[in-house]
Structure 1
Amino acid sequence: MASLAKTLMIKALTLIIVLIGVLLLLAFIMGATGLSDKMLKSILTVEVQEYKQQLIRQGRDPVAVEKAIEEYMKERAAALGINRSWYERLPQLIYRLLVLDLGTSRTLQSSWGSNKISDIILDRLPNTIILTTTGIIFTALIGIWLGLYIGSNIGSRADRVISVLSAISYALPLWFVGLVLILTLAYGPRILWGVQIFPPGGMVSTPPPEEPLAYFLDVLWHLSLPLIASFIVFFGSWAYGIRNIVFSVSQEDFVNFARAKGLPENLVRRRYILRPSLPPILTSLILSLANSIGGYIITERVFNWPGMGALYYSAITALDEPVIFALTYVFTLVYIVARFVLEVLYVIVDPRIRLA
């Protein structure tokens, strides 16, 4: 137990050092390029505008309002450190990144009207989880099941068929499959028969349903085409990748020895093939989930889905530097957390790592 805690502590410290290094690099880039100055000035502008609106609502004299605003600007500028050089503000900037105080956007807003970057990200993140993360989990589970089956039956008809299908699906871009599905399953039935089987895009209908159950079902309806597209594109790579992992493990001496002992084939697959195959399978699954948090820029644009990928696209086209840097930092943070989760799972499923 002590060795397990020591192993996890070492892994956690290593990833914390990586995060600190990323923070320092990001803070250096933001400071040296003047981006941190822009972020602080945008924060100050928003705070001053809110303060001004508050004074006007109180019915203050215009001269008194201007004087109060001038004093407030000086106080807030000093508190934010705008008048200091960027390297003097470095500890403060790192702290702001750690607590996800990422400043404000010049061009983008959340669905409730906030221009704080943290609010915008929190607004878009669940949408991406619904779309890409759900699609990856759904596709991965089916792909893993197929991969385990054909990996234990190399050369069978199922192995040959799935190998061909996986090569085809791997070559298809997700956005291309999405466009084909929209044309054939969304617009096609509506043009030919006047029936809307699948929606062409969006997350909910306009106007959205008011009943919670109806809203949930409407989201599922809009999610159907993206899920079908994800399955077509990704199931092949999952199935073929797991097939190769399982086949490689099944050729090991300890597996042949277990079969020579006369153990049931189901027990051999479960204990001697599946368990040693778990680390690379978990690596693919966890890192795919971490990458999905960033969203798929082109795919979300094709399906008009308001997720993280669409947010990245909007930030790039609007040259909204604070949002671009904030998203880059958040994606890095998610990746580091995913790596730590992987390290914990490795120790659980593979005792050899614990002993090492």
Structure 2
Amino acid sequence: MASLAKTLAIKAVTLFLVLLGVLVLLAVLMGATGLSDRILKSILDEQVRAYQQQLIQQRLPLEQVKKAVEEYNKTLAEQLGINQPWYFRMPQMIWRLLTLDLGESRILQSSWGSRKISDLILDRLPNTIILTTTGIVFTALVGIWTGIYIGSKIGSRADRVVSVLSAISYALPLWFMGLVLVFVLAYAPKILWGVQIFPPGGMVSTPPPSESVAYFLDLLWHLALPLLASFIVFFGSWAYTTRNIVFNVSQEDFVNFARAKGVPEGLVRRRYILRPSLPPILTNFVLSLAASISGYIITERVFNWPGMGSLYYAAITALDEPVIFALTYVFTLVYVVARFILEILYVIVDPRIRLA
């Protein structure tokens, strides 16, 4: 038990160093290249110009305007930290992030007008969970069940069909399949027959339904195409990967030995095949869930879905430095936590790790 606790502690420290390393690399990338200074300088110039224009519209004397603008420029520069070198600013930002103080956006705001980055995330994260996480859970569960089934029927018709589907799905980007479905099931029926089978994008209709049941049904209607695209692209890979894992375990010596001893096939499958197959399947599932939190930038743009991917894209295009840092930190933190949870789950599902 002491050895297990020590192993988990070492894993936790290692993963924390990974998290810290990602933040330091991002800080060096933005600071050493001068990108951070250029972003702050553009923000400073824009706000100073806006303030100067506001004073001019008030018809104040020119000298008073000039003095007020200089004072505002000095105060704002101190607030933004532009007078400090980047290697003084960045450690402060990293420390704030490590203490879960995500700070405020300089440009972006939530749907209710807040500039707090935590509010920006709370505004977009549920949308991403509805779109990507739901799609991954549904597709993974169906794909894993199919892979387990065909893993014991290698060479069958079902196995050949899944193998072909897997090869096709590997070559299909999710965003491309999304575009195809939008054209075939949204635009084409509308153009040819004047029938709107599925909406081309968005989360809900405009204006959204006022009743909760109608709103939920409208959300499902808009969710249909993204989920279908996700299922088509990812089902084959989930099924084929699981099939290979199950098949490889079923060829191990301990499985053949159990069968030679006369252990019932159902027990062999549950105890000697499925349980040793769980760690790699669990790894794929948990890490896919963690990755889904960051959203899919291009796919969300295709379906006009306001999720975390769209937020990250907006932060990059707007050069909103605090949001870029905070989102990178949150995405890495989710990955680190997922990896640590996996280490604990390995101990639970695989007795070989406990014995080791």
Q: Is TM > 0.5 for Structure 1 vs Structure 2?
A: yes
1:131 correspondence with 2:131? yes
Corresponding residue of 2:208: 208
Q: Where in structure 1 are there 5+ consecutive unaligned residues?
A: 49-65
Name the SS for the 2:305 alignment partner: coil
Q: Return 108-117 or 7-16, whichever deviates more.
A: 108-117
Aligned 8 A contact 1:35 1:321 in 2? no
1:153 correspondence with 2:153? yes
Name the SS for the 1:145 alignment partner: helix
1:232 correspondence with 2:232? yes
Corresponding residue of 2:339: 339
Corresponding residue of 1:262: 262
Displacement of 1:73 in angstroms is: 9.0
CA distance in 1, matches of 2:116, 2:135: 29
CA distance in 2, matches of 1:78, 1:227: 48
Displacement of 1:122 in angstroms is: 2.5
Identity of aligned residues (%): 80
Aligned 8 A contact 1:105 1:115 in 2? yes
Matches within 5 A, 1:167-246: 167-246=167-246
Aligned 8 A contact 2:110 2:120 in 1? yes
CA distance in 2, matches of 1:314, 1:80: 21
Q: Note the alpha carbon deviations across 1:162-189, whole angstroms, 9 max, x for none.
A: 1112212222222222122122222333
CA distance in 2, matches of 1:329, 1:39: 19
Aligned 8 A contact 1:117 1:326 in 2? yes
CA distance in 2, matches of 1:226, 1:171: 18
Corresponding residue of 1:54: none
CA distance in 2, matches of 1:302, 1:71: 46
Q: Note the alpha carbon deviations across 1:282-327, whole angstroms, 9 max, x for none.
A: 1111121222222222211111111122223333334444433433
Q: TM-score of the superposition, structure 1-length normalised?
A: 0.84
How many equivalent pairs are there? Answer: 345
Corresponding residue of 1:60: none
Aligned 8 A contact 1:202 1:305 in 2? yes
Q: Where in structure 2 are there 5+ consecutive unaligned residues?
A: 49-65
Aligned 8 A contact 1:23 1:97 in 2? no
AA aligned opposite 1:276: P
AA aligned opposite 1:230: S
Displacement of 1:244 in angstroms is: 0.6
Q: Return 126-135 or 260-269, whichever deviates more.
A: 260-269
CA distance in 2, matches of 1:195, 1:79: 55
Displacement of 1:268 in angstroms is: 1.1
Aligned 8 A contact 1:169 1:236 in 2? yes
Matches within 5 A, 1:239-318: 239-318=239-318
CA distance in 1, matches of 2:196, 2:285: 35
Please, what is the CA RMSD of the aligned residues?
3.4
Aligned 8 A contact 2:102 2:326 in 1? no
Name the CA shift for 1:220/1:322 in 2 (closer, same or farther; >3 Å).
same
Q: TM-score of the superposition, structure 2-length normalised?
A: 0.84
AA aligned opposite 1:247: F
Name the CA shift for 1:336/1:119 in 2 (closer, same or farther; >3 Å).
same
Aligned 8 A contact 2:19 2:329 in 1? no
CA distance in 2, matches of 1:266, 1:252: 17
AA aligned opposite 1:269: R
